[in-house]
Homo-oligomer: A and B are copies of this chain.
């Protein structure tokens, strides 16, 4: 019996224990966006560190300017294979609005879905569940074969959901220590419940908060209406003009760095037979609302967006209040394609707003997150290894896909450590990521563990260049 088969057998025998460890992590409300949960973020980091230490890793919780990072190293059997850097994040999105959850967000429960049992909790999939797939793979390698089949480093951060704002500095400071041959990341989706996927494209992001101020206090709309500037009316005008009716972003020069999708890639994506009506139907929508005249996967994976993620100002209580408020606010984010500079988009956004400001309005723009979109080479031996591991686990070949989301660390690892990332993820479209009732199918979790067990084996056989 090959080592890998023994490890797989151990994983099959240890399903219940794997699930119990995953649940432990889910019970820690490590919401990175909310300062009240800073202590919980640290608890999650400590929990992860202890897991790794128990698998023979030299594991530490390291300080940053924000929530801490877990770093761990295992030498593996000396002299064989490449050095792998596994990346994950232990932080989660805020669970609000709480009233839409059918069970408490930090008390995981198992329910029945169309693909069998599923686990419902904030972070079930993003990214605690996905991180646990490779942590469990490493655990079964440790328990069965005494350790991973090649050298492994681990980096688990706690600020992915708030833009990984301290991670780039951390990578720069510890570049020597963290440099490896390839990074492995599980924070993306399968193609569908039966078909695995490797993601070779990620969008980048610019996430901002726009604050507009006018009068020095709230005013009565009867006394001042017709004379005083209303910052909400102004904000709606600015944001309303951000895209035209065809969904095209109106910031001058915005598309200068947005390349057209290569025909070959467009053809490959079209061949996937993505059913956008079904995709939207699952959330109660029927019509695509992005850029007109573009393919569905092109819009989701290879075109930029401009979304208002939050807006507030004036009286928002019950009933009526005839106020012209002093301030109005919005959270506005852009998904960016590889090649677009978030810094340039930020400058364009600022100019776009300033050009629409009357004399009495002042604007401030806070930046919460900036990352470039990235492309991963699809022809490397690492991708080949992943194709084999996934095909063996799922019984069918993986799809090479794009991803509309952003994993800022992937571009940071490329820029700072010179590392390409192998993006193998086990989420499904209906996982309610960032929404109430987030879930992860148990079958995805378990196939994720098995895939990572096989992937470790396959990667260990590659001779690094």
Given contacts A100-B218, A323-B435, 4 further A-B contacts (CB under 8 A): A100-B217, A223-B429, A224-B300, A309-B314
Is A65's beta carbon under 8 Å from chain B?
no
Report Cα–Cα, A222/B204, bound state, in Å.
Answer: 9
Q: Knowing A240-B237, A333-B221, A333-B322 touch, does A289 contact B227 (C-beta < 8 A)?
A: yes
Q: Which residues of B contact A317 (CB under 8 A)?
A: 33-34, 94, 96
Q: Knowing A325-B309, A360-B286, A435-B218 touch, does A236 contact B240 (C-beta < 8 A)?
A: yes
Residues facing B in A240-257 (CB within 8 A) are 240-243
Residues facing B in A297-322 (CB within 8 A) are 299-300, 303, 305-322
Report which of B97, B228, B331, B435 forms a contact with A280, defined as CB distance below 8 A: B228
Is A235's beta carbon under 8 Å from chain B?
yes
Q: Which of A's residues lie within 8 Å of B, judged by CB?
A: 32-35, 93-94, 96-97, 100, 161-163, 189, 203, 205, 207, 209, 214-230, 232-233, 235-243, 276, 279-280, 283-291, 296, 299-300, 303, 305-325, 328-331, 333, 335, 358-360, 368-369, 403-406, 429, 432-436
Judging by beta carbons under 8 Å apart, are B313 and A218 in contact? no
Judging by beta carbons under 8 Å apart, are B309 and A311 in contact? no
Number of copies: 2
Judging by beta carbons under 8 Å apart, are A287 and B360 in contact? yes
Report Cα–Cα, A347/B429, bound state, in Å.
Answer: 41
Report Cα–Cα, A209/B314, bound state, in Å.
Answer: 13
Q: Which residues of B contact A286 (CB under 8 A)?
A: 359-360
Judging by beta carbons under 8 Å apart, are A321 and B404 in contact? no
Report Cα–Cα, A322/B308, bound state, in Å.
Answer: 9
Judging by beta carbons under 8 Å apart, are B285 and A214 in contact? yes
- A-B contact list, 20 entries, CB within 8 Å: A93-B321, A100-B218, A207-B322, A216-B284, A217-B435, A217-B436, A218-B434, A218-B435, A223-B405, A226-B303, A226-B335, A227-B279, A227-B300, A236-B242, A239-B240, A240-B241, A307-B324, A309-B324, A309-B325, A321-B434
Report Cα–Cα, A235/B312, bound state, in Å.
Answer: 12
Q: Knowing A94-B321, A287-B359, A436-B218 touch, does A308 contact B230 (C-beta < 8 A)?
A: yes
Write the chain B residue with the least CB distance to A314: B310
Judging by beta carbons under 8 Å apart, are B232 and A310 in contact? yes
